[in-house]
A = this chain, B = another copy of it.
Amino acid sequence: MFYLIGLGLGDAKDITVKGLEVVKSAKRVYLEAYTSILTVGKEALEEFYGREIILADRDMVETESDTLLADSQNEDIAFLVVGDPFGATTHTDLVLRAKQNGIDYKVIHNASIMNAIGCCGLQLYNFGETISIVFWDDTWRPDSFYDKICNNLQRGMHTLCLLDIKVKEQSIENLMKGKKIYEPPRYMTVSTAAEQLMEIVTNKRSEESNELLLHEDSICVGVARVGADDQTICTSTLKSIVSHDLGGPLHSLVIPGHMHPLELDMLKLFTNSDDVIQKLNSMYT
């Protein structure tokens, strides 16, 4: 059996009891290491599980799936994924490859940011489409996510913004030279995401005469290390959150739409700013 096991969001102990049993008895244990991270590294997991773990990077999962799936017709192979196994398309691909090879699979689910974001107090069923904010560089500065946020706002829905992760990326120089030297991993902060959004707001303002649905003074919620002991949640305005440091990765940003009184009450727990509280107070209807 090929097991896809969610690890949840915090540390080694966020695995489920069922997941841990499989890990302890499986023939091989892989850890997917490029779509997300825990607050602890491979070594901490190995110590807690009492097992050796094989790191599976994007290359391995996408091009060496046969190696990965080997023996799983007759033995248990465990593939660990931070969050829930179905957070990324490559895992779906792995399931399809398993089935093509006549291998049965089982999924052991866990929390992912897609549901744990409820920790900020906004109701999950009031969220619209989830968007991704990617790192801008000198030549590539996409802004289509702004319109998607506004689409959600128009219908009163909240938006979860997943922030870019760059792991095992090569510099253009090394890529061209064919050198497999990788840049240090980069995880987008709430501050950077807000900065990019602020720049889009400025551009839109110069282009459009209409009032903008998402602007400098819009309420937003930054979250960091959701599910970990040092989880941080910060309610602020878009322009102010640029200067908030929420600490280490991973970060996500939420743009609330129409809020129920209970949702407003919750957001107030996560700010000390009189301005922000006043703004929230004006939103009770």
Contacts and interface: CB of A to CB of B under 8 A. Distances in A.
Nearest to A229: B106
Contacts of A129: 125-128, 155, 157
A11 to B, nearest CB: 8
Interface residues of A, number: 58
A96 B128 contact: no
B111 A109 contact: yes
Contacts of A226: 109
In this complex, which of A89, A96, A108, A124 has the most chain B Cβ atoms within 10 angstroms of its Cβ?
Answer: A124
A10 interface: yes
Given A87-B118, A96-B262, A114-B124, 5 more contacts: A14-B17, A93-B262, A109-B111, A125-B162, A129-B157
Interface string A75-119: 000000000111101001101100100000001111110111011
Interface string A245-272: 0000000000000001011011001000
A50 to B, nearest CB: 13
A15 B17 contact: yes
How many copies, total?
2
Nearest to A120: B86
Interface of A: 6, 8-18, 20-21, 84-87, 89, 92-93, 95-96, 99, 107-112, 114-116, 118-119, 121, 123-132, 151, 155, 157, 162, 226-227, 260, 262-263, 265-266, 269
Given A109-B116, A124-B87, A20 B18 contact: no
A227 B109 CA distance: 7
Given A84-B111, A123-B92, A17 B18 contact: no
A267 B141 CA distance: 35
Contacts of A21: 13
A221 to B, nearest CB: 14
Q: Return the 3 tightest CB-CB contacts between A and B, nearest first.
A: A86-B118, A109-B111, A13-B18
